[in-house]
Amino acid sequence: MTRPFRFLAAAGGLVDGRELADQARRAEAIGYDVFVIADHLINQMAPIPAMAVMAAATQRLRVGTFVFNNDLRHPAVLAQDLASLDVLSGGRLEIGIGAGWNRPEYEKTGIPFESGGTRVKRLEEAIQVLKGLFGPGPFSFTGEHYTIVEMDGLPKPVQKPHPPILVGGGGRRLLSLAGREASIVGFAPRLMPGTSKADIRTCTVEATAEKVRWVKEAAGDRFKDIELNTYQALGRSIVTDDPKGPLRELAQRLKDRYGVELTQEELLESSHVFIGSAADLAEKFKAIRRTLGISSFMTGGIDELAPVVERLAGN
């Protein structure tokens, strides 16, 4: 069975409540399914109050994060905030959560930036705590990082057994966790923001196909119930009838930064590059869904791929 397309747009910038509400209503009118916000301690609104404004301004639009940094909040506190948002929005919350990656934020706050393995393990425990507190009755948990003793998380979310949880990444360890625990699995190239280090070839369609296999192996029988997501990881989405120039510029930028050459054809095919005419991008998204099973796309800003979303929303 082919999943219908779902499109996510991102809120951006430091704006007041009226502007954020206007953004959310515009996303809803265009046909986006989810309006998301990132989670950083620099140059943006805090996600939880922002999502409350976004939900209050709309009727159908779902709201979510892309994605929470697990290390910034204890999961018991986050569980109450999120369940409250699900209740207040009438069951329109989606939870994107990750292990944390933006090292400068850790350094500025004094939060230890521990190894990737430690952060992923902590994320795995946090997801178990969230699910447990969303469930009926008291919940207990003892892990390496969190301990919960007979706590009945209140309120309970409207969505059962819990709001959809998105976990994504580019490496096998994190994607295997996502396959075991997430409702939505997001794919990313293996980049290291803030450094010149990256395995930039993990943005190719062949690399994404391998990641899908990792998720499928980890998920087992539940793979059929998982939604797969991708996003414009290598730069902003561009609707143009002449994609050669933007593709050439992107290839040069990646070469200058990472020292790796990707052909324009590889970039054109990549599930992390959204550059082309509205008609061609609509066909590309259909091909990605057909060949990789990816039906969820985070497009960036509201207006960047609006013509494509209007063509495909609900299909």
Instruction: Provide the mean pLDDT of the chain.
Output: 95
Mean pLDDT on 100-110: 92
What CATH fold (topology level) applies to the domain 6-312? TIM Barrel (3.20.20)
Beta-bridge mates of residue 17? none
User: Tokens for 9?
Assistant: 């747009």
Determine the average pLDDT of the residues in 304-315. Answer: 94
Cα(290)–Cα(1) distance, integer angstroms: 11
Binned at pLDDT 50, 70 and 90, residue 43 comes out as confident
pLDDT, tens only, 175-232? 999 999 999 999 999 876 544 456 889 999 999 999 999 999 999 999 999 999 999 9
Please give the helix or strand (H or E) that residue 229 lies within, else none.
Answer: strand 227-231
Q: Which residue shows structure tokens 């008609």?
A: 279
Please give the average per-residue pLDDT across 226-241, as a whole number: 96
Per-residue pLDDT tens over the stretch 111-163: 999 999 999 999 999 999 999 999 999 999 999 999 999 999 999 999 999 99
Confidence of residue 69 (pLDDT cuts 50, 70, 90): very high
The pLDDT assigned to 301 comes to 94
Q: What residue has token string 């954020």? A: 20
Distance CA 238, CA 243 (A): 8
Residues 6+ away with beta carbon under 8 Å from 189: 170, 198, 199, 200, 202, 203, 207, 233, 234, 272
* Dist CA 83 CA 252 (whole Å): 45
Instruction: Return the exposure string of 149-172: e unless at least 16 CB atoms fall within 10 Å of the residue's CB, then b.
Output: eeeebeebbbbeebbbbbbbbbbb
Average pLDDT of span 236-257: 94
Which residue has better confidence, 42 or 194?
Answer: 42
Q: What is the pLDDT of residue 194?
A: 47
Report pLDDT for 193: 54
| Residue-wise pLDDT tens digits, 249-293 | 999 999 998 888 899 999 999 999 999 999 999 999 999 999 999
Where would I find the H helices in the chain? 17-30, 47-56, 75-88, 103-109, 116-134, 172-181, 205-219, 244-258, 264-269, 278-292, 306-312
> pLDDT at position 191, please?
74
pLDDT in the model for residue 192 = 60
